[in-house]
Structure 1
Amino acid sequence: MTQDHPGTATTPRTRAKARHILDNYYIGPARDDAVLEIWGYTPEMSYAPGDCVALHVSTTADEWEFEIGRDGLDYVPLLTKSGLPGRHHPTPRDCSVKGCGWPEAYAFTIPDDWAPGGYLVTFRARKGKDMVEEHHVILIRSATDAAPPPYVLVCATGTWLAYNCWGGSNHYEGITGPNGDAFSPIVSTQRPWTRGFCKLPEGAPRALREQPAKPGEMVRYPYMEWAYAYGYSKKYASAGWASYERHFARWAEAEGYDFDVISQYDLHCDSDLLNRYSCAVFVGHDEYWSSEMRDAVDAYVETGGHVARFAGNFLWQTRIEDEGRTQVCYKYIADQDPLVRTDQEHLVSGAFEVEPVNRPGALTFGVNALRGIYSGLGNCVGGGAGGFTIYRDSHWAFDDAGLGYGDVLGSGSRIFGYEVDGLDYHFEDGLPFPTCSDGAVPEIEILAMGLATNIEADHGVWGETLYIGAADAAFKAQALFGEVTPETLDACKRGNGMIVSWPRSKGEIFTAATCEWVAGLIRQDTQVEQITRNVLNRFGKSKERSR
């Protein structure tokens, strides 16, 4: 959700500072034949065996090459081509909004023996002794006429696109606004992924610090400092294959789970696609969804499907337009969406919990974004536990995990944050229950909780600039209470993140509502791993579903 500026960015000084940050993070075409570069993209995000994949590439080199390999537990090149003629194509200034428009440079058909997974595409170009390398990723699922695996990993491509800053604009910042520092409510799928979304070096910092800051220290953001130093997008830690889905896919493969891998856009286009699988899995940061994507998940669960969501920040409704080439999300300025005050007002691209959308996330996954948000990022619960406090330790999800009432799950591996989802709740005899005032239903069991906030603490450290500040709390106060006052800001300060379990209709949902669950898998946290196994083992069993 992070609004991309320090504090509230309401003064000329802070706006200038935000612009300075944007300039330093710009990743995109140099538009200069003298600069060695190569970039590429594909028209679609996901494919199946037999599909044709077109590579749209622009390079200043006379020749270029590419390599494709499955980015699984072991990386093995499967297709390589070299000596391809290079062409440097004009790139529109508003390419991040309208697309690059580059012609097809090479095409190939996906062989039948390519296993489902994420496939890394490496583009290389050379001039003399200089070489540049950039990356793309495509998702490959099993053939429609093949027997499907029990599980499907649904990649959060709506969020990837929202954070993709390649070419200058995304749903957070931009070069397309009237002052050159406004976010763009419209972004294109027809452009490369920004640096760090597809491949990262070992050791790239995650969004959460591995250790909380010490009292009196200036707050630090190691992932942004790293991005500055090495020329990566500062958004790499917020979205993308490399930071989230890749780690889950590699862990699951090592554990012997058989997965298909698809994009959210597949759900948007095919509402019945999930019915092939026993369990749909979501991981990482799944902030942006179209109404059609949600409809597909809801229908799947209603007819007996299982959902395992190890992800956080289920917040914004989007629209997919122009045959999938454009994503729309007006977000904080949803009142400017062209669908306001029309018969399609329910499709306005604003927050799920807010009018006119008014479709709380708890109706789909059992938790709401605006009841949670930040933990462990900067001074937002910066000294917190970093994990979930266990309340219902006898639940099946915790079998053999060695957890008791009051224990903290995942603090050592820092799984709680950087954005989380929660509910309004009350305590009875030491156990939390949903109040059901925010779209939740009594059948939702709250298994574990942690604390979050929407206002970054200011400890008065000299020279410190807060990143989150209070801007998101002001948005929440306006959205939920209709005005921003000291009282409504205070009411919006406190949030929470939850693990919930929900037997819904003929199906079942398990949600660990945190972006950083995969950190527990990366760091081999045995308790996090055991809970993940428990959920997958239970949900992967075949279940009769009505068609």
Structure 2
Amino acid sequence: MTIKIYFQYIGILTISALIFSCKKEKLDVVVPIEKAIIVDTNYPVADSLVIDGYFNKFSFGQGETATIFVNSKTKADSQFLGIYNVNGKIVDAIKISLSTQKVATVEPYLNGFGYIPTATFTIPKSLKSGIYFIANKIPFLVKNTGPIQGDFLIVHPSHNDIAYNNSGGMSYYLPSHQVRARVLSTQRPWKIAENGNPIPFYQWILSKGYKVDFACDDEMQDYENIKKYNMMVIAGHSEYWTRPARETFDKFIDNGKNALMLTGNTMYWQTRFSTAKQQLTCYKYDAQSADPTTDPLLKTDRWEAATLKYNELNSIGLNFYTSGGYITIRAGDPKGFTGYKIIQPDFPIFKNTNLAMNDTLIHNAIEYDGAKVKFVSTAKFGSVPVYDNSATKFYKVDILGWDYARPDYGVINNNYNIALFIIMKKKSTSGLILNMSSSNWCNEILKVSRLQTITENSIDFLLKNYDYSMPVIQ
């Protein structure tokens, strides 16, 4: 992309009352901000000077103004920083002046790093919806705010990025399950979570010729943001969901639209997101006693908690804690198939995979979701699982594959959970949900060719609204 170069610097802008929330101190910062100029890609970039950084938020519309906070190895005026796509290719650049930064708050994991704003720039309208990186280090998402452009919408698990990010000293996991954060700021150097990293899937899907729009968990707070699409893909390891996001997802499906779940351990924790404070809250194990909200439905506990009255089983047909778990081979367990044993090989999504009945779709799933099943005997194929629909009473559910899963709470009396790969229809008027329930599907897709074939078949199946009339094996 080539954009006519022009340099137009605005003078010193006074930002009054730019306050960084902090338990022990409050900082009033008055800083100069340079307006970054979008340039072409033919200039030498100074990406190696960038240590880290973040944006004022993660997701931007085309034409929207973004503020970037960059920490540089040294002070350097009028430098070019590349804008890179998910394949590491430079697609544009910005021209800004860099400086070294210091963390300016206490408990920066909670209050943000307090970097001085480096520059503002307008997201080019020519930049397609997708995930991009400034200097190949600082990620941001461009969403489509105009008429629908993509064949479907991919939802990036941005709240998962926040949850696993220990910049500033803590995450929801580190230093330990006992000593961890309950509230995390977005205003820290942003990292794409490695647990179920969806970037390999983005690289693959963009090579297939589909027109794709991207959104993140922030957009899922409001149905208006996604209602123009007829299909969505939930990518990566989409573990942390707010109540509004879950309600948006359910409304999408109830309105006859389809979803492909390329994720596992999905909708496990309830969270609350504050746009004003740029913070994500999840108390997790001590939510019932320590979470300060007085609304029992908003306690940031497991979605399976009875007090939340919103088990994810009722949204996506599966859950993790009660019925799912870890791929058994990772724990050296004797049970398990190192992937899904396929029991509906004639279903359209298995076309060109050469998978036969009881063959295994081998991949490193890491975490599975599951549900209760009944094993029935067949004359030809032996014992196969059938979905127990007594609790959910869905219109139709078929199991496409299954595996044993080691429960999160441990194996008791040699009882393993049953991980499932399903297709379901909640009501006769609902859309379809095709749930792979594997937290590492997206991260594995470039390594396992069958995952690519099945994913492409699944997208085509859901886009074309094929008749879902395959019988359950009897």
If the length of structure 1 is used for normalisation, what is the TM-score?
0.69
For residues 52-76 of structure 1, what are the alpha-carbon distances to aligned partners after superposition, in whole Å with 9 as ceiling and x for unaligned? Answer: 1110123452227563434245612
CA distance in 1, matches of 2:414, 2:262: 25
Query: How much does 1:89 deviate?
Result: 3.3
Asked if the contact 1:319/1:327 (under 8 Å) is kept, the reply is yes
Counterpart pick for 2:180 among 179, 183, 192: 183
Aligned to 2:307: 356
1:78 to 2:26 alignment: no
Query: How much does 1:364 deviate?
Result: 1.4
| AA at the equivalent of 1:238 | N
Aligned to 1:293, the other structure's residue is in SS state helix
Asked if the contact 1:366/1:440 (under 8 Å) is kept, the reply is no
CA distance in 1, matches of 2:403, 2:356: 16
Q: Go from structure 1 to structure 2 and tell me whether the alpha carbon gap of 1:369 and 1:69 turns closer, same or farther (over 3 Å shift).
A: same
Aligned to 2:435: 511
Q: Go from structure 1 to structure 2 and tell me whether the alpha carbon gap of 1:338 and 1:385 turns closer, same or farther (over 3 Å shift).
A: closer
Aligned to 1:418: 366
Asked if the contact 1:434/1:441 (under 8 Å) is kept, the reply is no
For residues 1-37 of structure 1, what are the alpha-carbon distances to aligned partners after superposition, in whole Å with 9 as ceiling and x for unaligned? Answer: xxxxxxxxxxxxxxxxxxxxxxxxxxxxxxxxxxx97
Gaps of 5+ in 1: 1-35, 124-134, 198-235, 455-471, 475-488
Aligned to 2:107: 94
Aligned to 2:163, the other structure's residue is in SS state helix
Aligned to 2:461: 538
Q: What pairs up with 1:89-488 in 2 under 5 angstroms?
A: 89-122=102-135, 135-142=137-144, 144-174=145-175, 182-194=179-191, 197=192, 237-238=194-195, 243-244=197-198, 246-268=199-221, 270-314=222-266, 315-323=268-276, 325-338=278-291, 342=294, 344-370=295-321, 371-375=323-327, 378-379=330-331, 381=333, 384-409=336-361, 411=362, 414-415=363-364, 417-429=365-377, 430-436=383-389, 439=392, 441=394, 443-454=396-407, 472-473=408-409
CA distance in 1, matches of 2:300, 2:332: 27
Asked if the contact 2:84/2:91 (under 8 Å) is kept, the reply is yes
Asked if the contact 1:171/1:183 (under 8 Å) is kept, the reply is yes
Query: How much does 1:394 deviate?
Result: 2.5
For residues 230-277 of structure 1, what are the alpha-carbon distances to aligned partners after superposition, in whole Å with 9 as ceiling and x for unaligned? Answer: xxxxxx5315xxx32x21111111111111111111111x22222221
Asked if the contact 1:73/1:253 (under 8 Å) is kept, the reply is no
Q: What pairs up with 1:490-529 in 2 under 5 angstroms?
A: 490=412, 494-504=416-426, 505-525=429-449, 527-529=450-452
Aligned to 1:502, the other structure's residue is in SS state strand
CA distance in 2, matches of 1:66, 1:331: 42
Asked if the contact 2:343/2:400 (under 8 Å) is kept, the reply is yes
CA distance in 2, matches of 1:78, 1:444: 46
Aligned to 1:473, the other structure's residue is in SS state coil
Q: Go from structure 1 to structure 2 and tell me whether the alpha carbon gap of 1:442 and 1:305 turns closer, same or farther (over 3 Å shift).
A: closer
Query: How much does 1:339 deviate?
Result: 5.1
Query: How much does 1:537 deviate?
Result: 0.8
More helix by share: 1
Asked if the contact 2:394/2:425 (under 8 Å) is kept, the reply is no
Asked if the contact 2:343/2:358 (under 8 Å) is kept, the reply is yes
CA distance in 2, matches of 1:310, 1:380: 25
Aligned to 2:386, the other structure's residue is in SS state strand
Asked if the contact 1:498/1:513 (under 8 Å) is kept, the reply is yes
Asked if the contact 1:53/1:108 (under 8 Å) is kept, the reply is yes
CA distance in 2, matches of 1:37, 1:95: 20
Aligned to 1:237, the other structure's residue is in SS state coil
RMSD: 2.6
Query: How much does 1:355 deviate?
Result: 2.6
Aligned to 1:252, the other structure's residue is in SS state helix
CA distance in 2, matches of 1:72, 1:262: 15
CA distance in 1, matches of 2:175, 2:106: 11
Asked if the contact 2:335/2:404 (under 8 Å) is kept, the reply is no
Aligned to 1:499, the other structure's residue is in SS state strand
Aligned to 1:43: 56
For residues 192-211 of structure 1, what are the alpha-carbon distances to aligned partners after superposition, in whole Å with 9 as ceiling and x for unaligned? Answer: 124xx3xxxxxxxxxxxxxx
CA distance in 2, matches of 1:438, 1:165: 38
CA distance in 1, matches of 2:395, 2:292: 34
Asked if the contact 2:182/2:283 (under 8 Å) is kept, the reply is yes
Q: Go from structure 1 to structure 2 and tell me whether the alpha carbon gap of 1:251 and 1:90 turns closer, same or farther (over 3 Å shift).
A: closer
Query: How much does 1:116 deviate?
Result: 1.4
Aligned to 1:522, the other structure's residue is in SS state coil
Q: Go from structure 1 to structure 2 and tell me whether the alpha carbon gap of 1:542 and 1:139 turns closer, same or farther (over 3 Å shift).
A: farther
Q: Go from structure 1 to structure 2 and tell me whether the alpha carbon gap of 1:519 and 1:38 turns closer, same or farther (over 3 Å shift).
A: closer
If the length of structure 2 is used for normalisation, what is the TM-score?
0.79
Query: How much does 1:509 deviate?
Result: 0.5
Query: How much does 1:375 deviate?
Result: 1.2
Asked if the contact 2:239/2:269 (under 8 Å) is kept, the reply is yes
Number of residue pairs matched by the alignment: 408
Q: Go from structure 1 to structure 2 and tell me whether the alpha carbon gap of 1:118 and 1:280 turns closer, same or farther (over 3 Å shift).
A: same
Query: How much does 1:331 deviate?
Result: 0.9
Aligned to 1:168, the other structure's residue is in SS state coil
Gaps of 5+ in 2: 1-48, 378-382, 467-474
Percentage of identical aligned residues: 22
Aligned to 2:418, the other structure's residue is in SS state strand
Q: Go from structure 1 to structure 2 and tell me whether the alpha carbon gap of 1:173 and 1:85 turns closer, same or farther (over 3 Å shift).
A: closer
| AA at the equivalent of 1:473 | Y
Asked if the contact 1:278/1:539 (under 8 Å) is kept, the reply is no
| AA at the equivalent of 1:327 | L
